[in-house]
């Protein structure tokens, strides 16, 4: 079985973000980058499927030259080879253009299964996986915590609301958007890091994509801090009920 895992390189979660001098994007010069967390779980799921069923795992990442470090990490964890879509203009590509870029690189591989994180830690749109499946013309399922091979294809476990789960049988080829936390992430050993240097990485130029960058950012800015005082009226019980409602639906901390 051939599995392709789409990985995104994102800034570290605790990185201090500043606006660039042109005001149209963040200043990337002092940032440190890492693998998008849901994509790391997608890679782990792919590696476990390979260990149980055999086959090949291919890590794919679109980004500038620095994205090679994320692919090297994936190779060190157990991916067999990598595909680097060399692109310096991802910020100008909307979801459709990005999905088409990835689809163009995937088609020559004819994979049985494509795994991708449910969303990215930086933009958090959560759209790339489903659009990619549409561009490839294959079935997909989202919010997946685990998958296993069956005689007719694949059975996946989806996380629903309020602690409910759903088991779905799917044919192959298919695409799964993986949720964080389904598996325990592995660490690369010193030996595997050395072996990763000899594994193949294929570079794909963006000039081969059939969809061009079509997004224009006019301005990027930090949210303005605002203070607001609201007095709750009523009996103690009524005030408590209003407070709980605001914490749940306005502040979303409960």
198-228: burial string, b at 16+ Cβ within 10 Å, e else: ebeeeebebeebebebeeeeeeeeeeeeeee
The band of 19, judged by pLDDT with boundaries at 50, 70 and 90, is confident
Kindly report, residue by residue over 119-178, the tens digit of the pLDDT: 988 888 889 999 999 999 999 999 999 899 998 899 999 988 888 889 999 999 999 999
- What pLDDT sits at residue 92? 79
Q: What CATH number was assigned to the domain covering residues 2-208?
A: 3.40.50.620
Q: Beginning with the edge strand found earlier in the chain, give each strand of the sheet holding 174-178 in spatial order.
A: 165-170, 153-159, 140-150, 174-178, 113-117, 2-7, 56-63, 81-86, 201-205
Report the mean per-residue pLDDT for the chain.
Answer: 89
- Contact present, 183 and 45 (Cβ < 8 Å): yes
Under 8 Å between Cβ of 116 and 8: no
54 pLDDT exceeds 70? yes
pLDDT of residue 121: 86
Confidence of residue 207 (pLDDT cuts 50, 70, 90): low
At 108 the pLDDT is 93
Residue 15 vs residue 104, higher pLDDT = 104
- Looking at residue 197, the DSSP 8-state letter turns out to be T
Statement: residue 20 has pLDDT above 80? yes
**Count of residues making up the chain:** 254
In terms of Cα–Cα distance, which of 71, 178, 72, 167 is closest to 118?
A: 178
pLDDT in tens, 232-251: 899 999 999 999 988 888 87
- What was the pLDDT predicted at 171? 94
Give residue 219's pLDDT: 86
- Write down the pLDDT at residue 118: 93
What per-residue confidence (pLDDT) applies to 29?
Answer: 78
Q: What percent of the chain has pLDDT over 70?
A: 97
The pLDDT of residue 85: 94
pLDDT of residue 211: 63
Q: How confident is the model at residue 15 (pLDDT cuts 50, 70, 90)?
A: confident
pLDDT score of 209 more than 60: no
CA distance 103 to 173: 14
Q: Give Cα 160 to chain centroid, integer Å.
A: 19
pLDDT, tens digit, for every residue of 70-103? 999 999 999 999 999 998 888 778 888 899 999 9
Q: What is the pLDDT of residue 224?
A: 79
Nearby residues of 100 by Cβ (< 8 Å), 6 or more positions away: 135, 209, 210, 211
pTM for this prediction: 0.81
Tokens of 76: 């060190």
What ranges do the domains of the chain cover?
Answer: 2-208
């Amino acid at each position: 079985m051939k599995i392709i895992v789409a990985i995104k390189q994102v800034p570290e979660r605790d990185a201090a973000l500043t606006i660039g001098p042109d005001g149209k994007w963040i200043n990337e010069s002092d940032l440190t980058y890492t693998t998008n967390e849901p994509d790391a779980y997608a890679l782990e799921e792919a590696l476990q499927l390979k260990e149980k069923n055999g086959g090949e795992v291919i890590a794919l990442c679109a980004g500038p030259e620095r994205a090679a470090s994320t692919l090297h990490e994936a190779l060190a964890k157990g991916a067999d080879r990598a595909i680097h879509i060399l692109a310096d203009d991802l910020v100008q590509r909307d979801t459709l253009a990005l999905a088409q870029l990835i689809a163009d690189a995937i088609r020559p591989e004819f994979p049985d299964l494509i795994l991708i994180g449910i969303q990215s830690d930086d933009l958090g749109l959560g759209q790339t996986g489903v659009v990619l499946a549409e561009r490839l013309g294959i079935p997909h399922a989202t919010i997946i915590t685990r998958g296993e091979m069956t005689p007719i294809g694949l059975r996946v476990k989806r996380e629903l609301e309020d602690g409910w789960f759903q088991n779905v049988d799917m044919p192959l080829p298919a695409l799964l958007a993986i949720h964080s936390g389904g598996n325990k992430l592995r660490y690369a050993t010193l030996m595997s890091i050395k072996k990763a240097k000899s594994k193949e990485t294929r570079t794909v130029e963006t000039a081969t994509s059939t969809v061009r960058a079509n997004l224009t950012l006019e301005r990027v800015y930090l949210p303005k801090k605002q203070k607001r005082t609201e007095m709750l009226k009523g009996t103690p019980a009524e005030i408590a009920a209003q407070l709980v409602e605001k914490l749940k639906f306005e502040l979303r901390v409960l």
